């Protein structure tokens, strides 16, 4: 049977079966989207009640075929889930999605991976029904009418003379590979030291307070938490195998993300499709913009405190149940494969809440709270600091991926490097992994910030050959924080903007007050966590 005949047969099978159009199934399943009204091309904005709701593993529509799409062809990777050296999760989560960009950007030598892929070919072109219209993610993360089949950006990775290939040719030379491996090793060494210091600082503060005064404890904890989250940022990009399934969760130690869900939204959606409609990172903190401006700091802080107390437990249970019910085998190949992910997920929640309880028992809630607030807000701003997420420019005028041919050129042009104190080896920790951020975006499979630092010259030199202007890094405190503070903390609430409220009415209108109370309560229920 030739490819055309197979395709026709497959189409007939799909039509003849009780398989329904995915869009229709999602419409039936969804509980949250219908009331979000916005123009077709407008950036989706998440009202607080939608923010983070059912974020991780939305119930997949029944009967989605076992298909992964590469370059318009259909593949069945079900048998490969357990064998993937990069871990079961990455393959499992990409079912019913287009894996073309990910194969090319997440492997040092994609030609090898493409050859392996052939074994799993279904011998037919992919069909719209093969692709989940909303990435099997919560529908509200996308604009109304978004369709994964049509709207996933396409890049051409075939031509050898594109930037990514030129960079990899130099990085894959044995001496460079050796240096990179050494750097990964040193990075892990520093991470272990940071972990030990973190424990020591807490032990000293709790038991020998005279050696750890509050003015030392608070900044140290902020720096340590952000740095450990920086290490965690790299761990979620690494192969999700063995102990890394647990270690990846240290990303959450800065109180903001949940690695368990971010691995998908960040590694599989933000990185390949930066600044496109698939890039859900654009939307993560827009919920707070719904609040009156001067309530944002206190209300969001209490909302996040509620996450630590109960919200993240609720979410962890909710996503585990969904995972168990609908996809452990699909996602992880087996129960055993999934277990370390869940141990890490709950272990981190227990750690964060235990610390809070311990500090309260020692009568030291004030010190804990001070480090919590500072870590929370610095991390929140850092997450949005390394792209132009705050720019209110319509997506369609801003980014036309269809015309963009060279993926790596696009990454460099749409990403900033952040500096914190100016030393790259320190900054890659202090910036929570966002320095050097351009290299990280071009080479998301690299395992550490140090590897990125030593790869920077190669990336810059090759980029310059493609006439890409290598902009100076931006300083987080000087160049980004003031702009972000203005946008996230001082812009009027949505309602105030729409109804032209003055400052007084913005803060005391009954609806605005109600929203603030609701936002806090949602924290306890785990709504709004990423």
Nearest approach, Cβ of residue 267 and ligand HEM (Å): 7
**In Å, what is the CA distance from 522 to each residue of 184, 298, 525?**
40, 15, 5
**Cβ-closest residue to ligand HEM?**
86
Measured from the CB atom, is 116 or 393 closer to ligand HEM? 116
Minimum Å gap between C-beta 303 and ligand HEM is 32
* 117 is a contact residue toward ligand HEM (CB under 6 A): yes
- Identify which of residues 53 and 238 has a Cβ nearer to ligand HEM in the complex: 238
Q: How far is the CB of 401 from ligand HEM (least distance, A)?
A: 19
Q: Which stretch binds ligand HEM (CB under 6 A): 87-95, 350-358, 372-380, 432-440?
A: 87-95
| Pick from 212, 180, 481, 514: nearest CA to 368 | 212
When binding is defined by CB under 6 A, the residue of 25, 81, 91, 224 that contacts ligand HEM is 91
Mention every residue, 6+ apart, whose C-beta is less than 8 A from residue 228.
Answer: 191, 194, 195, 198, 250, 253, 254
Is 445 one of the binding residues for ligand HEM (CB under 6 A)?
Answer: yes
Nearest distance in Å: CB 155, ligand HEM: 15
- Return the bridge partners of 354, or none: none
User: CA of 425: how far to CAs of 227, 420, 430, in Å?
Assistant: 11, 11, 9
Query: For 201, phi and psi rounded to 5 degrees?
Result: -60, -45
**Nearest of 418, 393, 414 to residue 481 by alpha carbon:** 418
Considering the complex, what minimum distance in angstroms separates the CB of residue 483 from ligand HEM? 32
Q: Which is nearer to ligand HEM, 292 or 449 (CB)?
A: 449
Identity of the residue, 114 or 460, whose beta carbon is nearer to ligand HEM in the bound complex: 114
Of 108-116, 300-308, 330-338, 433-441: span binding ligand HEM (CB under 6 A): 108-116
Q: Does position 181 bind ligand HEM by CB under 6 A?
A: no
- DSSP state letter for 98: B
Round to whole Å and give the CA distance between 241 and 445: 14
Site membership for ligand HEM, residue 123 (CB under 6 A): no
- Contact present, 293 and 489 (Cβ < 8 Å): yes
* Region of residue 467 (left: phi > 0; alpha: psi -120 to 50; beta: else): left
Binds ligand HEM by CB under 6 A, chosen from 3, 4, 8, 116: 116
Between CA 327 and CA 346 the distance in angstroms is 19
Contacting ligand HEM within 272-331 (CB under 6 A):
none
CB 486 within 8 A of CB 381: no
What tokens appear for 298 in the block?
Answer: 């206190």
Q: Is 448 in the site for ligand HEM (CB under 6 A)?
A: no
Q: Quick one: which of 94, 231, 291, 432 contacts ligand HEM (CB under 6 A)?
A: 94
Residue whose token pair is 């981190």? 348
φ and ψ at 391, to 5 degrees?
Answer: -70, 125
Cβ proximity to ligand HEM: between 88 and 512 the closer is: 88
State how far the Cα of 249 lies from the Cα of 226, in Å rounded to an integer: 13
Q: Which of 10, 113, 338, 386 binds ligand HEM (CB under 6 A)?
A: 113
65 HSE (CA, 13 A, CB side): 23
Is residue 238 a contact point for ligand HEM (CB under 6 A)?
yes
Size of the site for ligand HEM (CB under 6 A): 24
Cβ 171 vs Cβ 458: under 8 Å? yes
Task: Name the minimum Å distance from CB 73 to ligand HEM.
Answer: 12
- Where along the sequence are the contacts to ligand HEM (CB under 6 A)? 77, 80, 84-86, 90-91, 94, 99, 102-103, 106-109, 112-113, 116-117, 238-239, 268, 445, 447
């Amino acid at each position: 049977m030739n490819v055309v005949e197979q395709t026709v047969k497959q189409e007939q099978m799909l039509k003849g079966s009780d398989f329904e159009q995915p869009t229709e199934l999602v419409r039936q399943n969804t509980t949250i989207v219908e009331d979000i009204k916005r123009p077709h091309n407008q950036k989706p904005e998440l009202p607080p009640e939608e923010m983070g709701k059912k974020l991780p593993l939305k119930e997949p529509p029944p009967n989605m075929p076992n298909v992964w799409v590469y370059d318009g062809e259909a593949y069945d990777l079900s048998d490969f889930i357990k064998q993937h050296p990069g871990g079961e999760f990455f393959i499992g989560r990409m079912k019913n999605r287009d894996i073309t960009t990910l194969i090319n950007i997440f492997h040092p030598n994609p030609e090898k991976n493409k050859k392996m892929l052939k074994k799993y070919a279904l011998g037919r072109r992919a069909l719209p029904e093969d692709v989940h219209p909303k990435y099997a993610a919560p529908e509200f993360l996308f604009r109304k009418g978004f369709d994964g089949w049509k709207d996933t950006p396409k890049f051409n990775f075939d031509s050898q003379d594109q930037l990514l290939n030129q960079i990899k040719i130099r990085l894959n030379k044995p001496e460079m590979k050796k240096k990179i491996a050494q750097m990964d090793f040193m990075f892990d060494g520093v991470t272990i030291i940071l972990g030990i210091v973190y424990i020591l600082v807490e032990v000293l503060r709790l038991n020998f307070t005279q050696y750890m005064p509050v003015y030392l404890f608070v900044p140290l904890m902020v720096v340590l938490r952000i740095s450990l989250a920086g290490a965690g940022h790299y761990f979620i990009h690494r192969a999700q195998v063995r102990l890394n399934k647990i270690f990846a969760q240290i990303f959450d130690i800065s109180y903001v993300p949940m690695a368990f869900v971010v691995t998908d939204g960040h590694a599989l959606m933000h990185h390949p499709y930066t600044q496109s409609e698939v890039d859900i990172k654009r939307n993560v903190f827009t919920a707070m913009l719904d609040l009156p401006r001067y309530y944002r700091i206190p209300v969001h802080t209490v909302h996040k405190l509620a996450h630590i107390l109960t919200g993240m437990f609720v979410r962890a249970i909710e996503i585990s149940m969904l995972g168990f019910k609908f996809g452990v085998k699909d996602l992880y190949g087996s129960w055993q494969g999934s277990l370390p992910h869940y141990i890490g997920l709950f272990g981190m929640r227990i750690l964060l809440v235990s610390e809070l309880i311990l500090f309260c028992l020692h009568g030291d809630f004030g010190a804990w709270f001070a480090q919590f607030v500072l870590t929370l807000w610095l991390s929140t701003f850092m997450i949005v600091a390394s792209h132009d997420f705050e720019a209110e420019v319509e997506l369609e005028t801003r980014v036309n991926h269809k015309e963009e041919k060279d993926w790596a050129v696009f990454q460099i042009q749409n990403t900033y490097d952040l500096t914190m104190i100016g030393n790259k080896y320190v900054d890659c920790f202090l910036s929570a992994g966002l320095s050097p951020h351009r290299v990280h975006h071009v080479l998301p499979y690299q395992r550490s910030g140090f590897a990125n630092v030593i790869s920077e010259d190669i990336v810059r030199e090759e980029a310059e050959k493609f006439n890409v202007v290598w902009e100076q890094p931006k300083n987080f405190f000087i160049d980004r924080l003031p702009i972000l503070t203005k946008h996230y903390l001082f812009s009027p609430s949505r309602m105030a903007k729409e109804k032209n409220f003055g400052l007084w009415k913005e803060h005391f209108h009954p609806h605005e007050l109600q929203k603030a109370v609701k936002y806090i309560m949602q924290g306890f229920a785990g709504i709004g966590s990423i």
